[in-house]
Structure 1
Amino acid sequence: MGLAGLSIAWLKAGHVLGAPMVVADILRYLATVVWLLILGVYLLKLTRFPKAVLEERQHPVKLNFFAAISIGLILLAITWSQATPELGRWMWVFGAIGHLLITLMTVSIWLFRSQFKIPQITAAWFIPAVGNILVPISGVQYAPADISWFFFSVGLTFWVVLMTLVLYRLFFYDPLPIKLQPTLFIFIAPPAVGFLAYLSLNGGSLDAFARILYFIALFFTLFLAVHIRHFLRIPFFLTAWAYSFPLAAITIASLEMGALSAQSFYSVLGTVLLLITTVVITVVFVKTILAISRGKVFLPE
């Protein structure tokens, strides 16, 4: 998700700022290879350890990451939509259908099969909602508008509900375990993605609702930036990837805001965020490779 998001951010920067498109191209191929690799490894796990996969479906945190598979495909559809439109179309079709099925599964478990408690709720619960909001960004060019409005409506509704639950948990219960604190960055993603999706649906009109979505995302970005020293002290975990896509989302949203409002502040902000996001994802990517090479990943919890 983070690599695909960064590819889209550089693609947007190419259109808005004249940044070199080759960066977006390289990231697009890298994101595609990584997605295929992760999918292949997880399918292998499903065939060899099906019981472990079933247990993850009932886990209060891991359950939500099943949606990362379909979200990754939807993001790849966006990255390929200009270079190879037909490939982007099929990626979008399978991604949207897959995400709808995963959303139905996740909500069913939340409502009928789970024994989850309030302290087990984290910002990772946003992930299925974010996926639905993503669908219209490229969906408007591949399918009737009502399909994109359907996904947008579902995603927006669950974002509001889940934000209330997550904030309640954070306000009135113990702080998140240190390993899960990077997931707080996920607060940025739904309104930032919602801003981009809504613009796709309304023809690019920067109306009041679009501005509300953008400024909510900007507030969460500012809030987390205030606590940057705290996040820098957190040891590296794979959950550090939670920084990546939200930062890419607010970067793309800021560049789009600059283009539509014709105010240089947003373009400058988008440029700064693009550099920060690129550095963060590069560091996380390198640390992940090092952790894998040292056998510090895929350990029993």
Structure 2
Amino acid sequence: MEATQGDPGSETLAEPRLKHFPVTFFAVVMGLAGLSLATLRMEVAGAIPAGVSLVLMAVTALAFTAIAGFFVAKALRYPKALRAEWEHPVRIAFFPAITIGVLLICAGLLPLGDEIIRPVWMAATAAHLAVTLGVVSAWISHRTFEQAHLTPAWFIPAVGNVLVPLAGVHLGFPEISWFFFSVGMLFWLVFLTLVFNRLIFHNPIAERLLPTLVILVAPPSVGFVAWLQLNGGEVDAFARVLYYCATMFVLVTLTQVGKLIRLPFSMAWWAYSFPVAAFTVASALFAERTGAGFQRSLSYVAYAVLWVVIAILVSKTLAAIRRDEICRPEG
């Protein structure tokens, strides 16, 4: 029986899948956009033909449009379900992924012209600030959060803030870019401390959320790329600190690979994609600016790994959709 808007009863598998369409689906857009931006760096390096990145970004834009369409339909038809996601202690951190997706698409489509991208970027930046303030307000409100709710997914709002300079500097908004970069780095340091406290001194992260560990790689990787935009492209001491922090988190993540690959597939696996893409871009830029051969080789390896990761994620997601395993009620 199809549930109605006001049904207070328990959720059943017979309810429309639209009601359970999760905000975490926007991690797909982040992963695809990251692949597009990494491909752009490979084009600059001469490793692949020019134009491939624009095709990939167009696919990303189509994916965003489709996912956003389903999410808006859910919001209109099942507003209570949407509110429940906003009040979920883990899923609330994924709401900024919506605006992050648009910011990444703007950065990838800059070659189309500033006049086309600028209004979209401005709207996405304003929306991201609003969503970030909403998330932070929820975090510090009277709502009760427990240590078990804290995962690296809480880095997502911080990552979004650090992403603003990627297109913002080019579009002529340096001070706005500095504001968001500063806020993003502040939140990264705060949550880095909290997350490691949780990982070391409290119960292990729930198995279904273990893929979020890879998100540790993203903030310093994106921070490095954003810093280059703000600093005129120079790889200075602070840039090196950010890049090598990212490298260390890659090494930490590699120690957990055996555990991660044994996990059953879920949409949380998409958390693997954007951090790998961010580190690929950071390594490629480090090599471009310094001529470092090791980082150049590392960027090629990371890019190959990224394609493997995306291919696996797409195939498993499509298979899960065919088996009707996506958009089901939890529990």
Q: Tell me whether 1:130 sits opposite 2:159 in the alignment.
A: yes
Q: Tell me whether 1:91 sits opposite 2:116 in the alignment.
A: no
Equivalent residue pairs, number: 301
The whole-number CA distance in structure 2 between the counterparts of 1:239 and 1:113 is: 28
Which amino acid counterpart does residue 252 of structure 1 have in structure 2?
V
Flag the structure with larger Rg: 2
Name the TM-score, length of structure 1 as normaliser: 0.98
The match for 2:48 among 19, 24, 30 is 19
Q: Which residue of 2 aligns with 1:285?
A: 314
Report if aligned partners of 2:54, 2:109 keep a CA contact under 8 Å in 1.
no
Q: Which residue of 2 aligns with 1:231?
A: 260
The whole-number CA distance in structure 2 between the counterparts of 1:144 and 1:300 is: 43
Q: Which residue of 2 aligns with 1:32?
A: 61
Report if aligned partners of 2:273, 2:309 keep a CA contact under 8 Å in 1.
yes
Which amino acid counterpart does residue 216 of structure 1 have in structure 2?
C
Identical amino acids, percent of aligned pairs: 43
User: How far does residue 83 in structure 1 lie from its aligned partner after superposition?
Assistant: 3.0
User: How far does residue 71 in structure 1 lie from its aligned partner after superposition?
Assistant: 0.1
Note the alpha carbon deviations across 1:261-283, whole angstroms, 9 max, x for none: 11111100000000000110111
Distance 1:47 1:250, change over 3 A: same
The whole-number CA distance in structure 1 between the counterparts of 2:168 and 2:101 is: 15
Larger helix fraction of residues: 1
For structure 1, list consecutive stretches of 5 or more residues without a partner in the other structure.
Answer: none
Note the alpha carbon deviations across 1:103-157, whole angstroms, 9 max, x for none: 0000000011421112210111000010000000110022331110000000000
The match for 1:266 among 277, 280, 295 is 295
The whole-number CA distance in structure 2 between the counterparts of 1:60 and 1:74 is: 24
Which amino acid counterpart does residue 112 of structure 2 have in structure 1?
A
Matched position secondary structure for 1:97: helix
Report if aligned partners of 1:64, 1:106 keep a CA contact under 8 Å in 2.
yes
RMSD between superposed Cα atoms in Å: 1.1
The whole-number CA distance in structure 2 between the counterparts of 1:217 and 1:151 is: 20
Q: Tell me whether 1:70 sits opposite 2:103 in the alignment.
A: no
User: How far does residue 90 in structure 1 lie from its aligned partner after superposition?
Assistant: 2.5
- Bigger Cα displacement from structure 2, 12-21 vs 126-135: 12-21
User: How far does residue 23 in structure 1 lie from its aligned partner after superposition?
Assistant: 2.8
For structure 2, list consecutive stretches of 5 or more residues without a partner in the other structure.
Answer: 1-29
The whole-number CA distance in structure 2 between the counterparts of 1:162 and 1:227 is: 20
The match for 1:114 among 143, 149, 159 is 143
Report if aligned partners of 1:80, 1:87 keep a CA contact under 8 Å in 2.
no
Q: Which residue of 2 aligns with 1:276?
A: 305
- Bigger Cα displacement from structure 2, 277-286 vs 137-146: 137-146
Report if aligned partners of 1:70, 1:95 keep a CA contact under 8 Å in 2.
yes
Name the TM-score, length of structure 2 as normaliser: 0.89
Report if aligned partners of 1:99, 1:131 keep a CA contact under 8 Å in 2.
yes
Q: How does 1:184-223 map to 2 (within 5 A)?
A: 184-223=213-252
Report if aligned partners of 1:188, 1:246 keep a CA contact under 8 Å in 2.
yes
Q: Deviation above 3 Å: which 4+ runs of structure 1?
A: none
The whole-number CA distance in structure 2 between the counterparts of 1:5 and 1:216 is: 19
Matched position secondary structure for 2:163: helix
The whole-number CA distance in structure 1 between the counterparts of 2:31 and 2:50 is: 18
- Bigger Cα displacement from structure 2, 225-234 vs 56-65: 225-234
Which amino acid counterpart does residue 12 of structure 1 have in structure 2?
R
Matched position secondary structure for 1:235: coil
Report if aligned partners of 1:76, 1:91 keep a CA contact under 8 Å in 2.
no
Q: Which has the higher contact order (CA 8 A, sep 6+)?
A: 2
